[in-house]
Structure 1
Amino acid sequence: MAGTGPTMTLQGRLEDLLNEAVSAGITPSASCAVSRDGADGAAVVVGDAVRFDSDGRELEPAARTPAQADTRYDLASVTKVVTAVTALTLVRDDMLALDCPVAEWLPAYRDDDKRTVTLRHLLSHTAGLPPIWDGWKRPGSGGRARLVASVLATPLVTAPGKSFAYSCVGYNTVMALAEAVTGSSWSELVTERVLGADPDLGFASDGQACAATEYQPELGRGMVCGVVHDESAWSLGGAAGNAGLFGTAAALLAFGERTRAGLPGLLPPDLEAELWTDQLPRLLPTGESGVGYGQALGLRIGQRPWMGRAGAQARGHNGFTGTSLLMDRERGVSVALLTNRVHPSRSYSDVTELRAAVSNAVYDAD
């Protein structure tokens, strides 16, 4: 233990929390990096990045791969934050507009149901699209182009702007929209416009440097490692709008701090404000999401079950694989927490309590 009582450092408290989660079987490994008032602490890393072999069997302790500070984790839906920023750079350059119907660029959206869907709707989960697209389950000829067309053909569940419903389909529609407008691949757009050539945060992955995720023999993937876990993103080539990014805790924290600071040099103040501002009061008839938290363009707001009891003004996102990014301008903190809780199975655990405990520890630190 790193110490107990009021004299325990934040690093020590985080180490204890992560070790307790690993010991309790919540996740095989965890990596956490925190910035407070602009000062970054070293990443706290515990557990095994790879604990189960290619056949899903638990490895002997000596054969496991320990997690390290440079271990890259599948960020899952934390990717959506970067997707939103990338789309806003196209708005910045007058290639897209937040409130213009996307039907101007996407013929698939020119029918009566979809013709009023805007980029703002897509980025705020108010377009009326369903949560998931299962077209990846139906292989066929035509490759990625056919799959993207299938995504765009997904019917609406409700009329645009009538309700909030979290949708991975919406974010892959943003990806398709950006590719249609620019003629460039999604991975190129995200890399060139937002991330740069940072080897610790991007779509390209090296299995040897990554934490493993799920064992999926039924899909012919075996033990997934260095390949995106999300099946829809996987079918779309790995780089998608809803998922696909890999990163270390330190690299994700650096992106979080850049975002918390207003993305200087990347977005003008008016667009950066849109990224940070709750969109639901403007878009929904009642101004309420019905889920107890706000939604900006890509960022969830005040989702306290994982952002912590003091996180009412926090922004961020979490991911299915056990990842999260929290940013709070009022309190001057950012927190990147990465786990591979789906290794070897998605039914392995829930890391909501761990996320909340980490957030509370950061907020409570002197």
Structure 2
Amino acid sequence: MGTTLDQLDAELTRLLGSAVESGITPSAVCAVAVDGERLPVITVGDAVRFGAGGVELPAGQRTPADAGTFYDLASVTKTVTAVTALALVDGGVLQLDEPVADLLPGWAPDAGGEAGGNVVTNDGGGDGNAVTKAGGKETVTLRHLLTHTSGLPAVWPGWRVPLAAGLPFDREALLADLLSTELAHAPATRFEYSCTGFNTIMALAEHATGQSWPELVRAHVLARLAGESGLTFFPGAARCAATEHQPEHGRGMVRGTVHDEAAWSLGGAAGNAGLFGTAPALLDFGESLRAGLPGILSPGLAEAMWTDQLPAVLGDSLPGSGAEYGHGLGLRIGQSAWMGSSDARGHNGFTGTSLLVDRGAGISIALLSNRVHPRRESSDVGGLRLAVSRTVYAALS
């Protein structure tokens, strides 16, 4: 096995080096574990290659990436959000199938009011679903939110309003606006990946506990992980890989602050994005997921993260629901575009990050990059993710 792992290390180093040399990403860091044995962390490229004005820096002024570099995990954050919410279910604070409206004021209009349960709008999706402005939202549950079947739209644009007006972000007002978002589809009829839904999970958890989101995530997840010090919402810019140059938002070169604008407007720590991590720390989280999150979740809920929920949630709607792949409670299942195996679970992130875990194969892969540096249009790391996954699987076949 030693020779095989050495060969795997060499091939992964070549893949990451090629991605950096071809301009796919300024840097990439990869951490892999096989049956609990961790390979040396592979680091290539510059965590900071472009300066404050988006101009490429001379070689001597760049910041090389290393195993301790913190990357903006983007939507990989959603896996930790899911675990945090499920820990609250374990504690009896939340229920998977209780309507969100029963716990969260402002979520659904009063069914007896102007937007009552009999008010219907066309969802515009061409599938004939009718959405009740109040009644539909009143049936949405935490399970729907965790599986992207709530009917909520993919994104919430509310952060743009104060930004366009030159006003500071007011988190309380922004959350109220987010919670008033109308459904795009009837609940449990379609799969639509929704950042809005995961920020709703955050709002639900905060209201139910009276604690801030960073406090909840740290207490229920991060503090219970071996590499907890390498996962944080607020890492400090000097330790971070830079992401995008955003002068249009008055941000300049973003570094050490969450790239996602919705999460940024909500204070930087959010349910859809906001966590930063090193590759070894994300690998520790992946290994914990692979082992069933011991000391964090009960076995039943840990298994529910791994188990495809969509057949039961969507029922007869599944064939036309738009769900190409399975989805557990917070984990994507078998996405062929980057996972390389139908048995894999995990999540990817817009900034160029991903976490893959496979219990049967005994592997975890944390791949971090800052492909949006200096602009999001620069590249797509989907091919790199898939090449890395396939290389690990091939080495073990």
Give the shorter-chain TM-score range.
over 0.9
Deviation at 1:199, TM superposition (A): 2.5
Which residue number corresponds to residue 355 of structure 2?
325
CA distance in 1, matches of 2:169, 2:278: 35
**In the alignment, which residue of structure 1 is the partner of 2:274?**
244
- The residue aligned with 1:80 is 78
d(CA) in 2 for partners of 1:290, 1:84: 22
Shift in CA distance, 362/7, structure 1 to aligned 2, threshold 3 Å: closer
**Which of 318, 338, 362 pairs up with 1:287?**
318
Deviates more, 1:268-277 or 1:281-290: 281-290
- For 2:159, the aligned partner's letter is W
CA distance in 2, matches of 1:144, 1:42: 41
Letter in 2 for 1:217: P
Q: 1:276 aligns with which of 297, 306, 313?
A: 306
Q: Take 2:90 and 2:105, find their aligned partners in 1: how far apart are those partners?
A: 23
Q: Which residue pairs with 1:144 in the alignment?
A: 171
Equivalent residue runs for 1:145-224 within 5 Å: 145-196=172-223, 198-224=228-254
> Which residue of structure 2 lines up, in the alignment, with residue 312 of structure 1?
342
TM-score under structure 2 length normalisation: 0.88
Alignment of 1:86-97 (within 5 A): 86-97=84-95
Q: Name the CA distance, whole Å, in 1 between partners of 2:14 and 2:79.
A: 29
What is the alpha-carbon distance in structure 1 between the residues aligned to residue 355 and residue 221 of structure 2? Answer: 17
Secondary structure at the aligned position of 1:46 is classed as strand
1:36 corresponds in structure 2 to 34
- The one-character-per-residue Cα deviations of 1:16-54 (angstroms, maximum 9, x if unpaired) are 000000011000000000000111112100000000001
Cα distance in 2 for partners of 1:55, 1:7 equals: 42
Partner of 2:115: none
The match for 2:16 among 1, 12, 18 is 18
The whole-number CA distance in structure 2 between the counterparts of 1:7 and 1:95 is 44
Cα deviation per residue 1:191-230 (whole Å; 9 max; x = unaligned)? 1110018331111121111000000011111000000000
Task: Name which one, 1 or 2, has greater alpha-carbon Rg.
Answer: 2
**TM-score under structure 1 normalisation?**
0.96
Give the share of equivalent positions with the same residue, in percent: 60
Which of 112, 116, 121 is equivalent to 2:135? Answer: 112
Task: Please provide the CA RMSD for this pair.
Answer: 1.5
1:355 and 2:355 correspond: no
Matches of 1:291 and 1:179, distance apart in 2: 30
**Aligned match of 1:132:** 155
Stretches of structure 2 that go unaligned for 5 or more consecutive residues are: 109-133
